[in-house]
Amino acid sequence: MLHKKLRLIGYLRTGGTNLGIEAQKQKIEEFCHEHQHTLCGFSAVDEGEPALGLAEVLQALHDFDGIIATDLNRFVKHHEDRLADLRPLITKMMHQGKVLITINEQLETQTAKGQFVTLQLLDEWSDRESIVMPPIHEHADISNY
């Protein structure tokens, strides 16, 4: 993982997991404390109160070094869409020099090694899912990224 101290915003979403908002917060807080990152706040999109969605978090990134979440699935609505959803998100963040950290997968996109591991994981998913997942079409909507 990174050695640089980062200013991060925690991204929370309960869809697709049995890990509630409070459990996600605790896991992210512990990680940030352990790695001496500054946790600047949380964005909980389905906590029952209005909050920043992913598009708004990405727009607000100019104030932060990156986003941290418990796992990559927090960024996808449906498991079968994860490649279509994650590839443009991760690419955009890397081009902007922003970091994406996921605790469960132990991914970070700030370093060359972290970017390589992240893209390698996406490629592995692509290889495994190409049998059951239809190809990503050119008309895929990436306007939210």
pLDDT given at position 135: 44
Type of residue at 113: K
Residue ranges per structural domain of the chain: 7-129
User: What number of other Cβ atoms are within 10 A of residue 145's Cβ?
Assistant: 16
pLDDT given at position 16: 64
Global pTM reads 0.74
Type of residue at 98: K
CA angle at 42 for the pair 84 and 91, rounded to the nearest 5°: 30
Torsion of CA 70, 72, 73, 76, to 10 degrees: 130
User: What number of other Cβ atoms are within 10 A of residue 24's Cβ?
Assistant: 23
Q: Which residues have C-beta within 8 Å of that of residue 71, sequence separation ≥ 6?
A: 17, 102, 103, 104, 105
Low-confidence ranges of the chain (pLDDT < 50): 1-2, 50, 131-145
pLDDT given at position 88: 79
Buried b (16+ CB within 10 A) or exposed e, 105-134: eebbbbeeebbebbeebbeebeeeeeeebe
Candidates 3.40.30.10, 3.30.460.20, 3.90.1150.10, 3.40.50.1390; correct CATH number of 7-129? Answer: 3.40.50.1390
pLDDT given at position 66: 93
